[in-house]
Structure 1
Amino acid sequence: MPIMSARPALVLAYFTYFGVLGIFVPYFGLFLDGRGLNSADIGLLLAIVTASRIVGPSVWALIAERSGKPLTVMRLGALLAAIGWLSSFADYGFWPLLVGFTLFSFFWTAILPQLEVTTFAFVNDNTRAYGRIRTAGSVGYIVLVMLGGWLFQHFGSEFLPLSALLFLLLLLASLFLLPTVSVNAELTSATVRFSQLLKNAVLVRFMLAALLLQMSFAPFYGFFTLYSRDLGYSGSQTGLFISLAVAAEIVAFYFAGSLMRNRSYRLLLGLCYGLTVLRWYLMASFADNVWLLCFSMVLHAGSFAIAHSCAMQFIQQFFPKKLRSRGQALYAGVIFGGGGAIGAYCSGLLWQDGVGASQTFYAAAILALLATLLALTLPGGKPAAPVTS
């Protein structure tokens, strides 16, 4: 059976993809700080690098759609991303780092949307099966976060270039283990134009809520390791905090399919986004209390894992099969690219080398609250895209 043969390869691909992010996301701020950048420079670099994800997913999705070879697109993206990553080994200041990481980020965007579409095709849109395969990504993330904390404590921030490159190469190897699949061969012709779907009010509200939520995550993704260090926690402790969040994420992904069955997007997203408000408030006010900090990390189960599973299911149900690759690319570009870039830039300005840390997380809580209010305006049932004959 194709699904049985593909499953281990998909598990490995998710494991290595998010393993790279487990090194890159939590420790990138520390790495840039070690290279002498201040918080404003770090925020600007993160914003520009993240902004490359706005255009990248749509470019690669269009190539995958027209060629009918998403696997080739993923392999090419992984190869070029590894080449772009080589710039991290050189220390020539802000601008060379900016160019190298922007190239890395642009090519990196070729991978995940196509991997998501391919996985849903293999599991025949079964959310439970998708969630359990996607759990491998969370396991990869948590393993590398814990390893990264130990490496940072013993070798400093310069551990990042080589360790991330090794997992980039493992990712590339894993993509060559995936069986060839032409997603377009399974798809029916679309009944509506992509531009027509973009005008749908439900999609607009859903995307705006997700955008605000992603903006609220920027201080956590960009500055939490610096925040933790400034509060006196060790590198290993920081790794354990992040690992706790990802452990909660793993459990949530595993049960996401059952949890989402017969429940509305309005209810689930409203609840998940509301928990995110609480999470950032605790981060701003009580991060020096280890138990409350740990509790805020457990809330990652709702604020990321269940929310992400809802979003993926929304995209799969809203867009016709032939347009799902572009739907995934739109989501990745606008939310992770646009939301991440705006959030990173604003966080860098508010952070003020740690002086404005609490205020930055309070601002994140306000953004999450706005996202919650928008999510509560979504319809209770499945998203209905316009259909034409």
Structure 2
Amino acid sequence: MATSGPAGSLRAVSAPRRHALLFAAQFFAFGVILPFLPAVLAARGMTATEVALALAIGSALRLVAGPMGGRLADALGGPRIVLALGAAAAALAALGFLAASGFALLLLAYAAMSVAMAPIVPLTDAATVAAARREGFDYGRVRSAGSVAFILAALAAGQAVALLGTDAATLMIAAGLAATALAALALPAGPAPPAGARGGLAGFLAPLAIPGFRRLVLVSALIQGSHAFYYAFGTLTWQAAGLGEGLIGALWAIGVIAEILLFFWGRGVVQRLGPMGLSLVAAGAGLLRWAATAFTTDPLLLFPLQVLHAGSFGAQHLAAMMVLGRIVPAQQAGTAQTLHAALGVGLPMGVLTLACGPLFASFGGGGYLVMALLCAAAIPASLALGAALRR
């Protein structure tokens, strides 16, 4: 019997396109959340201090909820149900912003959204990496749909907020998350978990017993964490140097465009380099990017430096997906992806963001030099990762 409804119609679409739609839907939501969620909270009555506190609490909750969602997905035999329920719950929580006012209710809505959203991206990565290995399509090309959606959503949200106010951003976030739930339901159901699959704490920590996984977490923490100063203080540094808002927006955009180009057309290069080579490229790109950015605010130099985002972020992301797809058993894929997202990206990014405040206050753009040192440390860590993968 044919399945009716939007999710059923999506099942007639090829597997790569279904996974691309899933990435596009969730990154549409994130393309609104990242630039406009603070404005949404402020418009509903939060002070600047309360917004900062709420964002910090949301980050802490995601660090815990993400791996828990990954473990649940593995116990269920695949991420489809966790993805769909999480995205649907996050959409409902986002709509709560329209009714809530005052710190307590807004914090409750944001906390619920943070917990529900936490496993969405890493579980989508887990599902897509597994499907790409099984069916032979290019993970990077599929993942590029998310980056394209992120840019388009950020641009559209800017116009919508200017015309209609911050409630428009809230509705766009909820719509993107609801679409994510539908796209998740269109994924094929995973196999039943093996009878011997470990549950509880043993299953939760199982990926950490894999030497290559531990090495990967360290490399990702150093390289992805090195972006903390850029994400937190890049715009402020350029504003202080007199760069206009339009120019700053273009600088951010060129980095994401370079990332998209790598994801979409870089399959041959990725396969030739392998995970260790990609991590070395990422470390080298980050070292050059941050060391040079520490000493210049000249747009003629910043634009080519921003192209290195394809290396410093994109290459390491692809390296991580290759490693996780190779060394982690299928029944631990969700747990491994969410642990890597928490320990290799979220936790170091949060800690380093806190450290970047004093760095910026004391040294301005010179704080980028500390980020360059992190990338320098990632070079021997990448070589150690390669050695672990060869064993």
CA contact (8 A) 1:16 1:168 kept: yes
- Which has the bigger relative contact order, CA under 8 A and spacing at least 6? 1
1:80-123 CA-to-partner distances (Å, cap 9, x unmatched) read 11233245455535x65554333322211232232222223333
When residues 364 and 347 of structure 1 are mapped into structure 2, their CA distance, relative to the original with a 3 A threshold, is same
CA contact (8 A) 1:249 1:305 kept: yes
CA contact (8 A) 1:23 1:160 kept: yes
The residue that corresponds to 1:5 in the other structure is 14
The residue that corresponds to 2:265 in the other structure is 255
The residue that corresponds to 1:366 in the other structure is 373
1:37 equivalent in alignment to 2:48: yes
1:245 alignment partner, one of 246, 255, 258:
255
1:217 equivalent in alignment to 2:227: yes
User: Helix, strand or coil: the match of 2:154?
Assistant: helix
CA contact (8 A) 1:28 1:222 kept: no
Read off the aligned partner of 2:372 and give its amino acid letter. Answer: A
The equivalences for 1:367-382 within 5 A come to: 367-379=374-386, 382=389
When residues 22 and 230 of structure 1 are mapped into structure 2, their CA distance, relative to the original with a 3 A threshold, is farther
Consecutive unaligned residues in structure 2, runs of 5 or more: 1-10
When residues 37 and 370 of structure 1 are mapped into structure 2, their CA distance, relative to the original with a 3 A threshold, is farther
The residue that corresponds to 1:70 in the other structure is 79
Q: Could you tell which deviates more after superposition, 149-158 or 276-285?
A: 149-158
Q: CA deviation at 1:230?
A: 4.6
The residue that corresponds to 1:182 in the other structure is 190
Percent of aligned positions that are identical: 25
1:326 equivalent in alignment to 2:351: no
Size of the aligned set, in residue pairs, is 375
1:199-236 CA-to-partner distances (Å, cap 9, x unmatched) read 44443232112112232222333444444555444544
Counterpart CA distance in 1 for 2:164 and 2:364 is 26
CA contact (8 A) 1:120 1:126 kept: no
Counterpart CA distance in 2 for 1:96 and 1:227 is 34
1:301-321 CA-to-partner distances (Å, cap 9, x unmatched) read 111112101101101111122
Counterpart CA distance in 2 for 1:220 and 1:30 is 20
1:337 equivalent in alignment to 2:355: no
Counterpart CA distance in 1 for 2:320 and 2:242 is 36
The residue that corresponds to 1:274 in the other structure is 284
When residues 219 and 92 of structure 1 are mapped into structure 2, their CA distance, relative to the original with a 3 A threshold, is farther
CA contact (8 A) 2:213 2:324 kept: no
Read off the aligned partner of 1:11 and give its amino acid letter. Answer: A
Counterpart CA distance in 1 for 2:222 and 2:124 is 25
1:34-63 CA-to-partner distances (Å, cap 9, x unmatched) read 86526xx76655443222222222211222
CA contact (8 A) 1:209 1:371 kept: yes
Q: TM-score, normalised by structure 1?
A: 0.82
Q: CA deviation at 1:256?
A: 3.5
Read off the aligned partner of 2:352 and give its amino acid letter. Answer: G
The residue that corresponds to 1:387 in the other structure is none
**Alpha-carbon RMSD:** 3.4
CA contact (8 A) 1:202 1:383 kept: no
Q: CA deviation at 1:139?
A: 1.0
The residue that corresponds to 2:313 in the other structure is 304
User: Helix, strand or coil: the match of 2:14?
Assistant: helix
Counterpart CA distance in 2 for 1:29 and 1:222 is 14
Q: TM-score, normalised by structure 2?
A: 0.81
CA contact (8 A) 1:150 1:236 kept: no
When residues 265 and 171 of structure 1 are mapped into structure 2, their CA distance, relative to the original with a 3 A threshold, is closer
1:102 equivalent in alignment to 2:108: no
